[in-house]
Amino acid sequence: MIQIINELPYDPNKKSYRFWVDVSRNNIKEVKRLLGEGQNPNYLTPIFDAASNGYEEIVRLLIEHGAITTFKNANGNTLSEVAKTSEIKFLVSSSNCVLNDMERFYERCEQPDLVLFSQTGNKFSVHKTILRARLKDQKRVELLEEILVNYSDEDVESFLRWIYSGIVGKLEKKVVLNRICKQIDYKSVDWKSTTKGFLSDLKELYHDDKSKNFSIVVHGIEVRVHKEIIMARSELYRQMYLNTYEECTKVTDYSDRSLPTMKVFVKYLYTDKIDLTEDGYGYYEQKEIMQELDDAQNFYQLSDWSKLNLIVDKWFDNKKKTKRVLQEIEMRSIQKQQISKMLTSPQTIQQKEIIEKWNQKRLKEKERWLSHLEEMKQSFESEIEKERRAFETEIMRKTGQFEKELKRQKENWEKKRERNFQEWAWKNLLHSKKN
């Protein structure tokens, strides 16, 4: 199903607007925090901004939290068309496949085992397995039959479409769906991430072996599944079941695929993911499984939304990159061993001894020169000290002579002054006697 973005109602929630701004700015930390707090990943379809700007990590976070990838923007472009990088195109192409297959399965309404009625008396054919998986309890399914007769055809259609795909179109429909869930005492619905909840329910359904009602026989061993899931995901099994509806409870797989491959493929039908870690497969087992899955999309006639080949190609690309890295590591290890071997060879050891002797000789020469320089320094310092002392002695001698000469001149000056005074006094005395 393709929805146009313009049909989404405007929500003036400031927190949601900040979330859209954080996505457009590639603020991974804040986006992760808001999604963890339950932020709706589809408000203002931020995945379009992230995809067109090449924010791969943001796109991955939004898809993991239930962002719908089947929207078109106002220009009629899909996410794959506006995606900036091939990595983002892969993320978009390989997501939400099961949602679209399950929605088409609901629209086809093939082999239902339960009929619900709306307020107008119109019939809606459904499957008990899907209802039990989504509502978690058979009593809620029985209660739902009584409650839906009070709702219009449009409300019942929206509720069942949410049951089968997790997609809720308009905001006002969430109010109706929430009311129905409360009436059947089902209150654990995360309305901010409905598709994520749907995928989680399908994963739980995969692990619910008691409710599985169909078997695929592979090399004599039965692989239990739900007929509703394989009919929705695989056209081959759909036609096979429709042609032999009443008698068909098991079918033998003649594709010569191994049992581990079939188990991985069945889990992919539920989760849209290839999981090779659950049973601890080694590298060569993983490689064999991926090679057998390579043509599974065509053999099992998976829908156009199923991108199993993309996942397989991506896995082989990653393994090739890993192999190249391992080869480089191995090459470096070999080079390291060769260098180590070369360093321990007799010729290298002899060269090392020659270099060591030359280094020792050079060290001795250096020490000799340093000793010679130290001696020259001490000799130069002693010569300077001698000259300094001689200079100080000469200064002191000349200073003494100058002081003696100054004293002598002072004494001569004093004597001369005394003699002059006496002559003057004598002259004055003579002059006074004459008068």
Domain edges within the chain: 3-95, 106-204, 212-321
Q: pLDDT tier at 2 (50, 70, 90 boundaries)?
A: very low
Q: Which of 4-8, 106-110, 123-127, 201-205 has the lowest mean pLDDT?
A: 4-8
Residue 88 above 50 pLDDT?
A: yes
Residue 143 above 60 pLDDT?
A: yes
Residue 12 above 50 pLDDT?
A: no
Residue 7 above 60 pLDDT?
A: no
Q: Which of 116-120, 290-294, 414-418 has the lowest mean pLDDT?
A: 290-294
Q: Which of 180-184, 191-195, 240-244, 333-337 has the lowest mean pLDDT?
A: 191-195
Q: What is the pTM (predicted TM-score) of this model?
A: 0.60
Q: pLDDT tier at 314 (50, 70, 90 boundaries)?
A: low
| 106-204 against 212-321: fold identical | yes
Residues contacting 140, CB < 8 A, separation 6+: 184, 185, 186
Q: Which of 90-94, 138-142, 233-237 has the lowest mean pLDDT?
A: 90-94
pLDDT, greater one: 371 or 288: 371
pLDDT of residue 305: 46
Residue 173 above 80 pLDDT?
A: no
Strand-pairing partners, residue 125, are 115
**In terms of CATH architecture, what is 106-204?**
2-Layer Sandwich (3.30)
**In terms of CATH architecture, what is 212-321?**
2-Layer Sandwich (3.30)
What 3 state SS string does the chain have?
CCEEHHHCCCCCCHHHHHHHHHHHCCCHHHHHHHHHCCCCCCCCCHHHHHHHHCCHHHHHHHHHCCCCCCEECCCCCEHHHHCCCHHHHHHHHCCCHHHHHHHHHHHHCCCCCEEEECCCCCEEEECHHHHHHHHCCHHHHHHHHHHHHHCCHHHHHHHHHHHHHCCCCCHHHHHHHHHHHHHCCCCCCCCCCHHHHHHHHHHHHHHCHHHCCEEEEECCEEEEECHHHHHHHEHHHHHHHHHCCCCCCEEECCCCCCHHHHHHHHHHHHHCCCCCCCCCCCHHHHHHHHHHHCCHHHHCCECCCCCHHHHHHHHHHHHHHHHHHHHHHHHHHHHHHHHHHHHCCHHHHHHHHHHHHHHHHHHHHHHHHHHHHHHHHHHHHHHHHHHHHHHHHHHHHHHHHHHHHHHHHHHHHHHHHHHHHHHHHHHHHHHHHHC
Residue 9 above 50 pLDDT?
A: no
Q: What is the mean pLDDT of residues 88-92?
A: 74
Q: pLDDT tier at 423 (50, 70, 90 boundaries)?
A: confident
Question: Per residue in 315-353, pLDDT tens?
Answer: 677 777 777 777 788 888 888 887 777 777 777 777 878
Q: pLDDT tier at 11 (50, 70, 90 boundaries)?
A: very low
CATH 2.60.40.10 is held by the domain 3-95: no
CA distance 134 to 130: 6
